[in-house]
Amino acid sequence: MKTQLTGMSMNQLTNWVTAQGEPAFRARQLNDWLKKGAHFEDMRNLPASLIEKIKSLASAQAARVIERHGSKLDGTEKLLFGLEDGHTVEGVIMRYHHGISFCLSTQVGCAMGCAFCASTLNGKLRDLTAGEMASMCYLANRMVSPSAIGNLVLMGSGEPLDNTKEVFAFLHHITSTDSLNIGARHISLSTCGLPDQMHRLAQEGLQITLSVSLHGPNDEIRQQIMPIARVHTIDAVLDACRYYIQKTGRRVVFEYALIQDINDSLDNAQELAKRLRGMQCHVNLIPLNDVKERSLRASTKVQVERFLNCLKALNISATVRRQLGDDIFGACGQLRAQRLKTQLSEEGSQ
């Protein structure tokens, strides 16, 4: 693979540029272009000879946009990115009143095997690099210009805490003035609950919001739908959350996808409230996005409402997450899964 310039700090980029025998000030010019989502042909203030030289060694953007699906319902845009080795990953641009959010993938596929999630249907193929993640942000930011991405959510395909080296490097980079300078408080990272890595994140000194996919009030229910719950107990996950809150002063957000007859009863809501009592947290209820490959069904609107009201009555801060992009394969991994399926059937019919 070519050298990826997009995830490099100014220091690293300067070292790389000078190692090619070029003056250090070229690094700043190059970086200004890279973070605008530019390709080599856009970089008009750089000498053609320099571009020719670095083109053979490095990629400008480590990802490119290969599909773009706009939702007619709410302005959400789902992007499919192509990577240099031919893999594809998803990203979603979401428009809210408070600004534009970009939802980012952290791995090609996912190894966690959650029963309701399309990202994990074919397992994990590889981790994304910091350069690829930064590049996707730059390309998305370019698309929304003259506005800009204000919030980042690491909630696309993949388990970010199963790729801590690249994800942490990416977080430090994207929050810096060399890059998009996105405030850490405007970044959410979602995990299925890996306690050791949650501790490490707490020690990184980043003020990001930690979201934890709970999806059940106890080990028994979590184990039915999340294989990782057989490795880490809910108590260990919640202890890691308490540590995160204590270290960062930030409240933790719990994600809870409501699945009919699995985790949506009022008993489940009461048990959840009991477990979270006294914790500085918020519960995000998510109506399950149907994934055709999976047999699980979304809870009814009435049941979602009852679950929400039960949590609130027990003094747990909770809201129902607005569903965006339902008409464009909005759920994690759905667009990529759809493309893989089309490719397979095309290959089959050839």
User: Which residue numbers are catalytic?
Assistant: 90, 332
The only residue of 40, 116, 254, 307 in contact with ligand SAH, by rule CB under 6 A: 116
159 scored as a contact of ligand SAH (CB under 6 A): yes
- Please report, for residues 72, 211, 317, 319, the alpha-carbon distance to residue 155 in angstroms, rounded to integers and kept in the order given: 22, 9, 21, 18
User: What's phi and psi for 153, nearest 5 deg?
Assistant: -125, 125
Q: Quick check: 117 binds ligand SAH (CB under 6 A)?
A: yes
Q: How far is the CB of 114 from ligand SAH (least distance, A)?
A: 6
Using CA atoms, how far apart are residues 274 and 257, in angstroms rounded to an integer?
18
Q: Does 288 bind ligand SAH (CB under 6 A)?
A: yes
CA separation for the pair 304, 312 (Å, rounded): 12
Q: How many residues bind ligand SAH (CB under 6 A)?
A: 18
Task: Report the distance separating Cα 213 and Cα 192, nearest Å.
Answer: 5
Residue placing its CB nearer to ligand SAH in the complex, 27 or 237: 237
Residue 167 beta carbon to ligand SAH: minimum distance, rounded to whole angstroms: 11
Q: Identify which of residues 164 and 191 has a Cβ nearer to ligand SAH in the complex.
A: 191
> Segment contacting ligand SAH (CB under 6 A): 45-53, 109-117, 229-237, 338-346?
109-117
Task: Name residue 285's amino acid.
Answer: L
Interaction of residue 213 with ligand SAH, rule CB under 6 A? yes
Conformation bin of residue 286: beta by default, left when phi > 0, alpha when psi is -120 to 50: beta
Judge whether 325 and 286 are in contact, CB under 8 Å: no
Give, as ranges, the residues between 182 and 201 that touch ligand SAH (CB under 6 A): 190-192
Counting contacts by CB under 6 A, is residue 241 touching ligand SAH? no
| Joined tokens for residue 306 | 């009852």
CA dihedral over 134, 139, 145, 150, signed as positive or negative: negative
Q: Which two tokens stand for residue 46?
A: 């750089």
Q: What interhelical angle do 266-276 and 301-313 show, nearest 10? A: 30
Residue 257 phi/psi, 5° resolution? -85, 125
Is 129 an interacting residue with respect to ligand SAH (CB under 6 A)? no
With binding defined as CB under 6 A, does residue 329 bind ligand SAH? Answer: no
Residue selected from 89, 169, 237, 332 as contacting ligand SAH according to rule CB under 6 A: 332
Piece of the chain touching ligand SAH by CB under 6 A; list 4-12, 23-31, 114-122, 231-239: 114-122
List interacting residues with ligand SAH (CB under 6 A): 112, 114, 116-117, 155, 159, 190-192, 213, 255, 257, 286, 288-289, 291, 331-332
